[in-house]
Amino acid sequence: MGGGEAMPGFPHPRPLTSYWQLPPHRIAHHRTTADLPTSTRWDYVIIGSGITGAAVAFKLLVRDPALKVLMLEARTAASAASGRNGGHVRAGWHLNFAKYVDAFGEDAALAFERFEADNVADMAAFVRDHGVDCDFRDVQTADVYTTPAAWAEALAVVRKREEVERRRPGAGGPFVERRVWEGEAAKERVGLPSAAGVITYPAHTQNPYRLVCRMLELGLEKGLDLQTHTMALKVAPLETGEDNKTAKWQVVTDRGTVQAQKVVLATNAYTNALHTGLNQTGFLVPGRSQVSAVRPGSHMAHHPVMDRTSVALNDIGNGDYFMVRDAGLPGAGDILYGGGRSVAKSLHTVDDSVLNDKVAAYLRHAGRRAFGSEAWGEEGAPVRDWGGITCYTPDTFPLVGEDPSAARRGLWMSVGMNGHGMGLAFRCAEALVEMMTTGEAPEWLPEPFRLERVWDKETVHLSDLEAWVTV
């Protein structure tokens, strides 16, 4: 299982093991049946077992336990970006508010802010309601700015959002209270001598791999059929099956062909390999992001940053962020540091079997640079380096909905999370399920998320992908 050579655009069969995947979860290699159930006519075939696929499956089966739902995973369960990220659950894009107002209008910017905040709240509620053991911790996360110019720009966005709240109280849902720290107070708050300003707000940290694997288990308990190490190679409409009682789609895999009424692409960065039309637009751009886990420096034991800290360094062009593993958890005190994109940007790749050595070296020593050599002390030992494949869109929003370009209805997707899946994907899955089961998009789904914009010549291109930074 998991052998063979990598095909262009498809998941690499031998990815590096992430920090979170040790030890592997009990369902890592799960196959509900020994043979692929090719004779069953499925209601849904979901391709991908990350947070999107797991949430879609669970939410479908909660609504209708009688549904026949099959999930295909090319590698082990939750083996892509969901099992490889930096461990944050944060609504970190509030500082795009002014850009979104300018590009999409105030209502759309407010809708996005509400969506992101609700997604984080929904994930916390899911963990609580289902007793998920995934090291979930409440933290005060911090956006840190290290230059006066960057801080002035960030502060202007905060003030603009506060002005909108005064003018339209509650228009974006419950207003997330953010605290602003400047000057010496900012430096003391995060222990970073270069901090010119800091914005803090509530967030969470977790083991994302264990969260998604538990979500998959809950789906399995409700009747989900999960087939790991099963590479989907092609999705195509069937020649027959015009009525609602027969399958309309077929998915060709390396273990056989399955048929379904609806197919859901929960494939994020790998979507281009299965959807040639989308690939031809160039709208989805995959890239490799890296994280390094290190032991803290010798002087860091009593540093305030070691207490439930989640930090994004938003203005240094690297997409840098870090979090600290809390006391009492496996690897307590480990600092997980991600980013390093000024060293090398690995766009247009889906290879997570290798690392960029320059980025890995940068990340291993980033703590010393951030805190200063005196505060850091002697370098701590490296624990693990790994990468994950993320996926970007030119307007920074995901693609959610039914494919309008398909010859037959029933091909759906929620992809393109822009490296912010833990801030967006769970609620995107809820929106997709509502669209598939009721035929209508929920009113809370931001209009710019609509899938059909891929083929709309008027689509706003908000970002330069070479410079776009996510955490």
CB within 8 Å of 162: residues ≥ 6 apart: none
Peptide bond into 8 cis (omega under 30): no
Q: Is the pLDDT of residue 464 over 70?
A: no
What is the reported pLDDT for 383? 98
Q: Report percent pLDDT > 90 for the chain.
A: 81
What is the enclosing helix (H) or strand (E) of 61?
Answer: helix 51-63
Looking up tokens 């809390």 gives 326
CB 77 within 8 A of CB 220: no
Report the SS3 class of residue 56.
helix
Q: Is the pLDDT of residue 461 over 80?
A: no
Q: Taking the model in full, what pTM does it have?
A: 0.95
The string of DSSP letters for 71-108 reads EE-SSSTT-SGGGTS-SEE--TTGGGHHHHHHHH-HHH
Q: Six-digit token pair at 405?
A: 């370009």
Report residue 294's pLDDT band, with 50, 70 and 90 as the boundaries: very high
User: What digits encode the pLDDT tens for the residues 240-269?
Assistant: 655 456 689 999 999 999 999 999 999 999
CB 135 within 8 A of CB 308: no
What is the reported pLDDT for 470? 40
What is the reported pLDDT for 4? 52
Of the candidates 342, 338, 325, the residue with the CA atom closest to the CA atom of residue 364: 338
Report the SS3 class of residue 395.
coil
Helices (H), 130-261: 148-167, 183-190, 208-221
Report residue 316's pLDDT band, with 50, 70 and 90 as the boundaries: low
* pLDDT mean across residues, the chain: 92
What is the reported pLDDT for 457? 75
| DSSP code for 152 | H
The string of DSSP letters for 175-192 reads PPP-EEEEHHHHHHHHT-
What is the reported pLDDT for 456? 87
Q: Is the pLDDT of residue 153 over 70?
A: yes
What is the reported pLDDT for 85? 95
Long-range contacts made by residues 149-156, C-beta under 8 angstroms, separation at least 24?
Answer: 150/196, 150/314, 150/315, 151/182, 151/196, 151/197, 151/315, 154/95, 154/197, 154/199, 154/314, 154/315, 155/180, 155/197, 156/98
Report the SS3 class of residue 17.
coil
Number of neighbouring beta carbons within 10 Å of residue 303: 17
